[in-house]
Amino acid sequence: MRKITAAISLTAGVLAVASYAVRAQESAGNDGPHYTNGTSLVRPTDYREWTFLSSGLGMTYETPSGTAQPARQIFQNVFVNPSSYRSFMETGAWPNETTFILELRRSGSDASINRAGRFQTDLFAIEAEVKDARFPDGWAFFEFGRAGALSDAAAPLTGARAAPCVECHSEHTAVERTFVQFYPTLLDVAREKGTLKPGF
């Protein structure tokens, strides 16, 4: 009787481990982009559980003129789907279906015990960049809108709306069409793997 009970317990344990492994594998393979109508990206609601790459404050890619107003102090938080992050750590390159989420948040300075510096506050907007071989040049950009009116899905930017993104992400990025130069831990990986563009 004890042998039968032990065998049943062992079998149940093996099945539980196998089931967990299958779920983990399925989860790893399903964290890429999901679309409606074939090309409209579904906004991932769990992106804050993804791999956090970096955060910038008040960054702008335009050269300010003498009369330009100071840049808004907006935080830009960048997240990438975990399976693509793991692949990059091994190869220094982004696999197909890599999905980046750019979360924009307002900043504040007057709260609690803070006496200097700025911290993140309300959500401002959410954008995305996806590497997908089905799109022109293999990449696409998406805007889900402002906080309070976020779209559940967004069509890829095209034409004049996409042109500035394509130009900037083609000419000024360190690895493929991504700003790895602003992600210090990944920059070291790209150097080691030899995937940095010339000039970096």
* pLDDT tens digits, one per residue of 72-112: 799 999 999 999 999 999 999 999 999 999 999 999 998 89
- What strands, in cross-sheet order, belong to the sheet with 40-42? 35-36, 40-42, 153-154
Q: Which residues of the chain have pLDDT under 70?
A: 1-29, 63-71
The pLDDT score that the predictor gives to residue 18 is 38
What is this structure's pTM? 0.81
Beta pairing class for 99-108 and 153-154: unpaired
CB-neighbour burial class of residue 14 (10 A; exposed 0-12, middle 13-18, buried 19+): exposed
The pLDDT score that the predictor gives to residue 84 is 98
